[in-house]
A and B are shown apart, each in its own frame.
Chain A
Amino acid sequence: MMYSKSFGILLILSLIVSGCGSNESPGENKKQTLHPSLTSNSIEVSQSWARPASAGTNSAAYLHIFNGTDRPDTLLSVKADAAENAAVHESYREDGISSMRPARRLIIQPDSSLSLAPGGYHIMLMNLKKSMAESDSLNLQLSFSETGNRTITIPVKLTY
């Protein structure tokens, strides 16, 4: 049983590592199979949330972006009213060490999606201006190369 579990963990890690090493990270540019009537011809943001944290520390926001337009769009930058600075970063593991790096240009192909999720791409909220507690919300501004700025309000959630 120990061997099978070790194999399971190694499998999970290898999937993460292989995702980090390729040009496409997990969750990025997943082709959707939506019925044409469900396409929005716009950028859709869903499943957004941020983790609670104390003032002066850091947190992260996560979300799912779907490009319903007919051309590629790029997430250029992010701003958050709750933090002094915000930027898209990527968590990755190497030899058992967890690290982060600023994300490269995140291009979302037409009819595809990009997931910012725990353990991968995330919006890093640096130096929180005030504590964010469960049930609070914050405003995020996402700037896209093609469709411009998009401001959303996202909930602060304590998820386990």
Chain B
Amino acid sequence: MLLIALPCVVAMLISCTDSPEVIHDLNDANYNLVNQDSAAVDFPSDFEGNYLIIAYIYTHCPDICNITTAKMKNISNQLQDTANVQFVEITFDPGRDTPAVLHDYMQTFKLPERQFSMLTGKSGEINRLLSSLDVEAEIAYRDTNSAGNATYTMNHTDRIAVMDPQGRVRFEYPGSVTPPDYIIEDLNKIRGAWYDVF
């Protein structure tokens, strides 16, 4: 009798959990990027074991990306337990967003280095990563500055994502308009959940 009942109970328990689906799985993928200090980063494996809050931005963005970065800072400020949580911002404008520019951006927004990483890389590698995450970006508005250099703004995906320690994206949100509380609640939902070890 027990042999029959036990599998049923396990099956019921599994069916009762609301484990969020895997949206993108980067568990077996690797992308060669660099951070704001020009240190090589293998993404996402170098963050293995951490939950990642990920935003996609470019530093010349005048409005939306800065709102998203502010949201990221708010999440880090409001998160009571920051153990095993890292914040990653990935640029979709690697041509202009060099490590030095990203370093300046971090300082401008007072993003703590122990929690935040700003990632850039070769254009092809960034495009490969963004494509696997379904993130779009394209040049929209071109101008020329006084030095004669071309400048531009971009149309882009507005998103914050939560990745689990196995490199799987579990939640995605409209980055600039989602209240930080929502993201924190979802993060805490999967942190330490028994189903999340598989």
A residues touching B (Cβ–Cβ < 8 Å)?
1-2, 5, 8-9, 12-13, 16, 51-54, 56-60, 84-85, 89, 91, 93, 96-100, 118-119, 122, 124-127, 131, 133, 158-160
Contact A96/B159 with A12-B177, A118-B63, A119-B63 known, Cβ cut-off 8 Å: yes
Contact A158/B63 with A97-B136, A97-B158, A127-B146 known, Cβ cut-off 8 Å: no
Contacts of B67 in A (CB 8 A): 118-119
Q: Are B182 and A122 in contact, with the CB atoms below 8 A?
A: no
Distance from A119 Cβ to chain B, minimum over Cβ atoms (Å): 6
- Residues of A contacting B: mostly: mixed
Q: Are A96 and B158 in contact, with the CB atoms below 8 A?
A: yes
Task: Please give the number of chain B residues whose Cβ is less than 8 angstroms from any Cβ of chain A in the complex.
Answer: 41
Of the 9-residue stretches B4-12, B40-48, B137-145, which lies at the interface with chain A?
Answer: B137-145
Q: Are B143 and A126 in contact, with the CB atoms below 8 A?
A: yes
CA distance A59 to B155 in the complex (A): 16
Task: Taking A16-B177, A53-B108, A100-B153 as given, write out 10 further A-B residue pairs in contact, using a Cβ cutoff of 8 Å, ordered by the A residue number.
Answer: A2-B20, A5-B185, A9-B174, A12-B177, A89-B62, A98-B176, A100-B140, A118-B67, A122-B63, A126-B143
CA distance A96 to B110 in the complex (A): 28
**B151 in complex: contacting residue of A59, A60, A127, A133, CB < 8 Å:** A127
CA distance A13 to B140 in the complex (A): 22
Q: Are B177 and A54 in contact, with the CB atoms below 8 A?
A: no
**B156 in complex: contacting residue of A9, A59, A97, A127, CB < 8 Å:** A97
Of the 9-residue stretches B24-32, B70-78, B121-129, which lies at the interface with chain A?
Answer: B70-78
Contacts of B185 in A (CB 8 A): 1, 5
Q: Are B62 and A58 in contact, with the CB atoms below 8 A?
A: yes
Q: Are B70 and A160 in contact, with the CB atoms below 8 A?
A: yes
CA distance A122 to B176 in the complex (A): 15
10 closest A-B pairs by beta carbon, nearest first, are A98-B158, A58-B62, A60-B62, A99-B155, A127-B145, A98-B64, A160-B70, A54-B104, A91-B63, A60-B63
CA distance A1 to B184 in the complex (A): 13
Contacts of B86 in A (CB 8 A): none
CA distance A97 to B174 in the complex (A): 9
Q: Are B59 and A57 in contact, with the CB atoms below 8 A?
A: yes
